[in-house]
Amino acid sequence: MDTSELAKKLRTLIEAERAGVFVARALLAEVDDPDYRSLLEEILDGERDSCRLLGRMILRLGEKSGSVVGDFHEKVMALDGDDERLKLLVKGQEWVVRKVDELLDGDLESSFAEDLKEMKRVHVLNIDLCKQYLDGLT
């Protein structure tokens, strides 16, 4: 994969991660439950870390990351109820994992691959935590 194609794919991911930051912040502003708060703080940390990681990767390619935020935030916040919002957040996290897997299937420099594997690990962990929390609601 050439540099410009990789940068484009990484920019798509960073836009989604920025939206994830917005979602986590918005949900945190509304939460009372300490367990849910803790979960959202974990997600927020992961989304912020992913933004930093992707931004550094894009810069290493000699490209700019831009400042676009994906529209995922609006989609999540349009839903009623924490459980519905969290279910969509899980779907967003799963989308990121799929996109990362697609990149990992390509020919990547080892440092890029390692960074993406770490990003995937955090997302998979957060997906599992979200699903455990949702299971506890039923």
Q: What is the pLDDT of residue 47?
A: 97
pLDDT in tens, 56-107: 999 999 999 889 999 999 999 999 998 999 999 999 999 999 999 999 999 8
pLDDT digits (tens, 9 = 90+) for 104-116: 999 899 999 999 9
Which CATH number do you get for residue 94? 1.20.1260.10
pLDDT the model gives residue 108: 92
In the chain, % of residues over pLDDT 70: 100
Residue span of the structural domain in which 67 resides: 3-137
Q: Is the dihedral of CA 78, 79, 81, 85 positive or negative?
A: negative
Q: Cα(first)–Cα(last) distance of the chain, in Å?
A: 45
The total number of structural domains in the chain stands at 1
